[in-house]
Amino acid sequence: MSILGQLCPAPRLLLGPGPSDAHPRVLTAMTTPLLGHLDPQFMDLMFETQEMCRQVYRTKNKMTLPISATGTAGMETCLVNLLEPGDKAVCATMGYFGNRMVEIAGRTGAQVTRIDAPWGKVFELDQLRDTLKAVRPKVLALVHAETSTGALQPMAEVGKLAHEFGALVVADAVTSVGCTPVEVDAWELDAVFTCSQKGLGCPPGLSPVTMSERAMDAIKNRKTKCQSWYFDLSLLGTYWGGDRAYHHTGPISMVYALREGLRIVLEEGLETRWARHQRNHLALKAGLEALGMQYTADPKHQLPQLNAVRIPAGVDDLACRKRLLNEFGIEIGGGLGDFKGVAWRIGLMGHNSKPSSVLLVLGALEIVLKGAGAKIEPGAGVAAAEGVYAKG
């Protein structure tokens, strides 16, 4: 049997909806020698990682920990712990990942009421209030940053509103943490999850979750066991809590990575990091619009870290993305659901939110679009972006 060659994939600039490129310091941290998952040194690293997660989430929640799996596992952790058969849940859906929350909530045996906003739009408080008043659910679940549409749901008043009707808020912050403001305590959010591979600048593999005391009280008062053993927070809490009792073999190298990623976020400063993402978004937006592309999300609610734009008429989606990848080593994402084949998703997340990423993708897109027959003024995209950067 022949032996395979050494792993050496062609380099890529990951400007899709995730993963994004990991920070070089994070990759270096992952080469640190392994410790046992119950080693006292690793226990100290777990504590440090939890505390930095709290700082990034802007929360004091005791139950804050990285789930040993990807972002969807964070979604499942929140929903299966808070919901049990017969509970009422409202899932506010404005894109692909809201649909996933509906599916997971339904599998708990909860009675799910689904409300929809058009793709690219967000929910107004009055719409949420009317549904909460009519249903009186245990849980209101919604997406903060909808990766499929590039829309940012305002959340500052949602927690307070939900609590007026006795509901707990589950928020999908997979694409927002580390890129745009997330204020768990100030916004009165009860269960929030994110991922390691986007705004936090790490590889995929962990899903930081935080639960309020209200949420933990609901978990303690369940009438039935959580349907998932692996994601049962009453069990996970013994490993990530004071007891540090064995639950599963933690992914040691990924915890190293997350610890370093969080250190980088906090070194930069959250406000500075949010401003960086906004500045690069504005430059990319100017360039994309100069190339004839329009955003799919409402202008008042566009994500700075995930730029979803409509593909120009007559341009082949897959052929252009393949050329970007094969000739320029740049990955961007195609559309999902209602936007499949009609939109591109360009991510500027974490380490990749920088002028070099903006200018490289705009230059490559111009060549690819012109090759696909689009009429574009030479250099228009890069010039428009440079104009934004020149303003400071």
In terms of C-beta density within 10 A (0-12 exposed, 13-18 middle, 19 or more buried), how is residue 27 classed? middle
The pTM of this model reads 0.96
Beta strand 306-310 pairing with 343-347: antiparallel
What's domain 24-266's architecture?
3-Layer(aba) Sandwich (3.40)
- Dist CA 23 CA 352 (whole Å): 9
270-390: CATH topology is Aspartate Aminotransferase, domain 1 (3.90.1150)
φ/ψ region of 58 (left if φ > 0, alpha if ψ in -120 to 50, else beta) reads: left
CB pairs under 8 A, 24+ apart, for 240-244?
Answer: 240/46, 240/50, 240/65, 241/62, 244/38, 244/43, 244/46
Q: Which residues pair with 346 in a beta bridge?
A: 307
Q: Is the dihedral of CA 237, 60, 90, 102 positive or negative?
A: negative
- Dist CA 288 CA 310 (whole Å): 10
Residue keyed to tokens 């504590």: 47
Nearest partner of 190 among 171, 204, 173, 177, judged by Cα = 171
Question: 10 Å Cβ neighbour count for 41?
Answer: 9
pLDDT of residue 100: 97
- Is residue 368 within 8 Å of residue 320, measured between CB atoms? yes
Dig out the tokens for 350 from the structure.
């974490």
Instruction: Report the pLDDT averaged over residues 67-91.
Output: 98
Tens digit of each residue's pLDDT (9 = 90 or more) over 329-355: 999 999 999 999 999 999 999 999 999
| Secondary structure (3-state) at 63 | strand
Q: What is the DSSP letter of 227?
A: S
- Is residue 382 within 8 Å of residue 369, measured between CB atoms? no
Residue keyed to tokens 């013994």: 238
pLDDT of residue 1: 77
Q: What is the largest CA-CA distance in the chain?
A: 66
Instruction: Report the pLDDT averaged over residues 283-300.
Output: 97
- Dist CA 65 CA 51 (whole Å): 9
Instruction: Report the pLDDT averaged over residues 191-207.
Output: 98
Q: Where does the pLDDT of residue 241 fall: very low under 50, low under 70, confident under 90, or very high at 90 and above?
A: confident
- Dist CA 81 CA 237 (whole Å): 12
Dig out the tokens for 290 from the structure.
């100069």
Instruction: Report the pLDDT averaged over residues 262-286.
Output: 98
- Dist CA 153 CA 61 (whole Å): 23
Q: Where does the pLDDT of residue 359 fall: very low under 50, low under 70, confident under 90, or very high at 90 and above?
A: very high
pLDDT of residue 52: 98
Instruction: Report the pLDDT averaged over residues 98-116.
Output: 97
Dig out the tokens for 62 from the structure.
């005791």
Instruction: Report the pLDDT averaged over residues 181-185.
Output: 98
Domain ranges for the chain, please list them.
Answer: 24-266, 270-390
Instruction: Report the pLDDT averaged over residues 251-270.
Output: 98
Tell me how many degrees the CA angle 294-176-32 measures, rounded to the nearest 5. Answer: 125
Q: Which residues contact 299 (CB under 8 A, 6 or more apart)?
A: none
pLDDT of residue 242: 73
Residue keyed to tokens 């070089």: 24
- Is residue 389 within 8 Å of residue 312, measured between CB atoms? no
pLDDT of residue 392: 79
- Average pLDDT, rounded, for the chain: 96
- On the question of a common fold for 24-266 and 270-390, the answer reads no
Q: Where does the pLDDT of residue 109 fall: very low under 50, low under 70, confident under 90, or very high at 90 and above?
A: very high
Does the structure show a pLDDT above 90 at 365?
Answer: yes
